[in-house]
Amino acid sequence: MVGRDVAVIELDQVSLGWRDRVAVRDVSGAFERGSLTAIVGPNGAGKSTLLKGITGLVSPLRGRIRTSGRADSHIACLPQLGELDRSFPISTYDLVAMGAWRRVGAWKRFSAQEHERVRSALEAVGLADFGHRIIGTLSGGQLQRALFARLMLHDADTLLLDEPFAAVDMATTEDLMALLHRWHDEGRTVVAVLHDLDLVRRHFPQCLLLAGQLVAWGRTDDVLTPENLHLARHLCAGDFL
């Protein structure tokens, strides 16, 4: 059995951006297998850009991003709610079922086992009776629950989440946070971009603080110090650049 001290994602002097704009500069470090890590920082710190770099949606301007080379490894990502087209006429059931795409593909029959996985995922997020609902009729919290269910269908061993608790109520946050802990207890690697530092302190043992560049990365108590947070705010404001 592979230990948790093995890196599943390694960043080597990574810079990310578009054209002449660098959003993330010279970040190095590693996410260890089975870790639970929050990525935090001021607005414009490059947090979402870093996730896009890890998933391959943005290519590094410089440096390298290496992911685990195991044949059964897989990374799945939960995007921000605002990136989803809620006007598309798809049912909640079908949205969740899209998470099985990697296993089912374009031409395989959607088996009874996969249908049961969809039903189980909907039940796990509290949407057992919402499968028939068009996603445009869901509240923000219900839609986020559906996206978590879709993530469950991926059955990935590394999960990246971009603002998973934005614009949802406290009850939904607590329910979804419980799911993150369950995945972590199963040995999965969980990385989430977050703004709520109190939530991070309560639930995430590891933290990466960004401000267009790496400010600190390690134990949450060591990272979220007043000095580091002060530095991050000033770096994003351009005071020390």
User: 215 CB contacts (<8 Å, ≥6 apart)?
Assistant: 41, 209, 223, 228, 231, 232, 235
Q: Is the pLDDT of residue 240 over 90?
A: no
Per-residue pLDDT averaged across 34-58, rounded? Answer: 94
Q: Is the pLDDT of residue 239 over 70?
A: no
Distances (CA, A) of 104 to 90, 101, 156: 19, 5, 14
Task: With 0.95 as the threshold, say if the pTM is over it.
Answer: no
List helix spans (H) across the chain.
47-55, 92-97, 101-104, 112-124, 140-154, 170-185, 197-203, 220-223, 226-237
pLDDT at 102: 74
- Number of Cβ atoms within 10 Å of the Cβ of 84: 15
Per-residue pLDDT averaged across 200-210, rounded? Answer: 97
Q: Is the pLDDT of residue 95 over 50?
A: yes
Q: Which fold has domain 1-74+158-166+188-241?
A: Rossmann fold (3.40.50)
pLDDT at 111: 82
- Number of Cβ atoms within 10 Å of the Cβ of 129: 10
d(C-alpha 122, C-alpha 152), whole Å: 9
Q: At what angle do helices 170-185 and 140-154 cross, to 10 degrees?
A: 10
Q: pLDDT tens across 62-86, in order?
A: 999 998 755 445 899 998 877 778 8
Angle at 234 between CA 229 and CA 240, to 5 degrees: 125
Ordered by start, the domain boundaries in the chain are: 1-74+158-166+188-241, 83-155
Q: pLDDT tens across 128-180, in order?
A: 999 999 999 999 999 999 999 999 999 899 999 999 998 889 999 999 999 99
Q: Is the pLDDT of residue 45 over 90?
A: yes
